[in-house]
């Protein structure tokens, strides 16, 4: 999803040049009115340039996108500096929060020197463009893009073929390595000019709590879910060992990354057929159902839109259908990575996606539309409040909806004749765990790596070594072959060259189950949590919308309370959801090593 650039804090500005203090609240309000108007205009201008850059990748659109970002960053930094003159002035609560959020707008703080600022934004645009146009050209001359590589890794069970495309995708990123090294230096310089130790410290300052407290919160949440992940990892490893042999998969070590059905081994649901519990066939294949019904890309999106309609939300605006990119164009390079856009932060909502008719994209569409409906729900807020309570909330909303894609939901929308039997529950839970539980450590480690890079704990000479050390520590995953510092494997993941913070996805993986548990209770669901769907429940829709409309107007614990009645993020909901599977996994793992 595209979000406004984030992260500058009040404490960060102490090193900036002194600004004459303000005298009146009226003066502060006038400043804020001007700031919000200017930032709105620049965000819309930048969003339109970014849209063209992402959907029409050529040299000129990269430059235009970089210029738009450069103007926005410079204006935001200038306004954040100006706002310090109101720091000691008692302000009404809403105005005080806006002043705080103004100082939390940047993800990339470029240096104040114009040449270095331009260089930083140009490098950012260039790296994202390199990723979007990346292809692996095989020895025979056939070139594969990421969609093709993803499909091979999803369907192939030939280890040699999997190894070839796994290595092949990583040929796109070594040229990014010197660019990324320079980008880190420039980004850190900009962050330090704002008073931060580095860019990582800047990012961690945006969660309504001190950065160190936030780091401890992540550790607490990870420790809550780690036992569930370890059980899943041990079981999957033993089944892959049965499939590929003892020479390919160790009995008690890390799992080779190319065997998990995904270019980054971030989710494992594509290897469900290899690890499915016995007698757990749900009795249907959603991909086959969609194809047999001749479902096209527009119908795929309409299913998602109707889900929100069933909760009481208005349909998407006509411009959504006119301006979205829903299939990959034949005549140009584009960034296919799915994302939801609110171009004018009001009602110009768009989806950018290269839709394939399959179950994975069916779920992704529900997720991305969650962003769009969130964006529209808070569009009546003042500009600085037109955002999610924290960035994890934005990602969690769409996934919360996706958790309601149950067999019962598929029956209600006519894709199934009857729900799968209870005997299939373990299979349904396994498939979802391969997506959700498997993702948790990956969602955590991306920014663990970047924060250490930004702080200097990881030096450029050890980018790849440190990357795989963290993947081993958190995921129990290892590269299928030795990797060297000639490679730049982090750059083969979109969010690194695109400079998109990733901790939001870990938080979203926790929050979505907490949201789902609360909304399911509101909907009156008394069955197992994994069988609950809030589809067509207006009361759940109302509770959801009340939270969405808050935007960023209140600290995230207030928004969490509005939806769940709780003020602390809590991973026990994910444990509740997968409890039957955890019991079964532990039975299967008896006598076998757990961990690596």
Catalytic residues: 337-338, 367-368, 371, 395, 495, 505
Which runs of E-coded beta strand occur in 446-589? 477-478
Calpha distance 157→166 (Å, rounded): 13
Q: Is 27 helix (H, G, I), strand (E, B) or coil?
A: helix
CA–CA distance, 81 with 194 (Å, rounded to integer)? 9
Strand pairing of 477-478 and 255-256? parallel
The rounded Cα 543 to chain-centroid distance in angstroms is 24
Contact yes or no for 142/135 (Cβ under 8 A): no
What the block records as the tokens of 506 is 């870990």
Half-sphere exposure of 235 (CA within 13 A, CB side): 28
Helices 211-244 and 579-588: crossing angle in degrees, nearest 10, is 50
Degrees, nearest 5: CA angle 397-52-39: 65
512 contacts 291 by C-beta, under 8 angstroms: no
Residue 115 CB neighbours (<10 A): 8
- Identify the CA nearest to 324 among candidates 306, 304, 298, 299: 298
What burial class does residue 26 get, using C-beta atoms within 10 Å of its C-beta: 0-12 exposed, 13-18 middle, 19+ buried? exposed
The separation between CA 251 and the C-alpha centre of its own chain, rounded to angstroms, equals 32
308 with 349: CB under 8 angstroms? Answer: no
């Amino acid at each position: 999803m595209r979000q406004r650039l984030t992260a500058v804090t009040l404490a960060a500005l102490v090193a900036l040049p002194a600004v004459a203090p303000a005298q009146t609240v009226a003066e502060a309000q006038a400043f804020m009115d001007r700031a919000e108007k200017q930032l709105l205009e620049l965000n819309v201008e930048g969003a339109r340039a970014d849209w063209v850059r992402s959907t029409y990748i050529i040299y000129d659109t990269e430059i235009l996108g970089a210029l738009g970002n450069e103007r926005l960053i410079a204006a935001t930094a200038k306004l954040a500096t100006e706002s310090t003159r109101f720091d000691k002035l008692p302000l009404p609560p809403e105005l005080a929060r806006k002043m705080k959020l103004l100082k939390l707008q940047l993800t990339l703080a470029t240096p104040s020197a114009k040449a270095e600022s331009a260089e930083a934004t140009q490098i950012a645009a260039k790296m994202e463009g390199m990723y979007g146009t990346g292809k692996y050209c095989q020895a025979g001359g056939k070139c594969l893009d990421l969609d093709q590589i993803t499909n091979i890794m999803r369907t192939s069970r030939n280890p040699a073929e999997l190894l070839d495309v796994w290595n092949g995708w990583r040929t796109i990123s070594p040229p990014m390595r010197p660019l990324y090294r320079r980008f880190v230096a420039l980004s850190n310089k900009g962050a330090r000019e704002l008073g931060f130790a580095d860019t990582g410290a800047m990012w961690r300052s945006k969660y309504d709590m001190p950065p160190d407290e936030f780091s401890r919160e992540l550790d607490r949440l990870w420790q809550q879910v780690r036992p569930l992940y370890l059980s899943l990892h041990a079981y999957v490893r033993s089944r892959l060992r049965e499939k590929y042999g003892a020479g390919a998969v160790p009995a008690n070590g890390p799992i080779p990354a190319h065997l998990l059905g995904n270019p980054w081994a971030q989710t494992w649901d594509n290897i469900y057929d290899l690890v499915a519990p016995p007698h757990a066939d749900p009795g249907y294949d959603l991909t086959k159902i969609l194809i047999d019904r001749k479902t096209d890309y527009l119908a795929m999106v309409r299913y998602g839109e109707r889900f929100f309609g069933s909760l009481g939300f208005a349909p998407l605006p006509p411009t959504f259908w006119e301006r979205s990119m829903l299939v990959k164009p034949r005549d140009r390079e584009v960034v296919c990575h799915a994302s939801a856009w609110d171009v004018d932060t009001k009602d110009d909502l768009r989806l950018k996606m290269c839709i394939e008719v399959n179950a994975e994209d069916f779920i992704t569409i529900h997720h991305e539309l969650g962003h769009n409906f969130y964006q529209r729900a808070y569009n009546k807020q003042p500009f600085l409040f037109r955002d999610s309570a924290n960035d994890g909330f934005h990602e969690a909303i769409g996934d919360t909806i996706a958790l309601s894609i149950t067999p019962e939901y598929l029956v209600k929308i006519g894709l199934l004749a009857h729900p799968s039997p209870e005997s299939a529950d373990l299979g349904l839970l396994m498939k979802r765990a391969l997506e959700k539980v498997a993702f948790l450590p990956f969602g955590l480690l991306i920014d663990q790596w970047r924060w250490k890079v930004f702080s200097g704990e990881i030096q450029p000479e050890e980018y790849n070594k440190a990357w795989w050390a963290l993947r081993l520590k958190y995921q129990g995953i290892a590269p299928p072959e030795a990797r060297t510092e000639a490679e730049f494997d982090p750059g083969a993941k979109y969010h690194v060259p695109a400079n998109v913070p990733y901790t939001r996805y870990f938080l979203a993986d926790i929050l979505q189950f907490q949201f789902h548990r609360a909304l399911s209770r509101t909907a009156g669901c008394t069955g197992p949590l994994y069988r609950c769907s809030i589809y067509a429940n207006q009361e759940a829709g109302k509770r959801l919308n009340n939270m969405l409309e808050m935007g960023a107007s209140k600290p995230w614990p207030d928004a969490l309370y509005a939806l769940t009645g709780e003020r602390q993020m809590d991973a026990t909901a994910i444990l509740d959801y997968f409890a039957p599977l955890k019991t079964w996994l532990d039975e299967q793992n008896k006598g076998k090593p757990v961990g690596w």
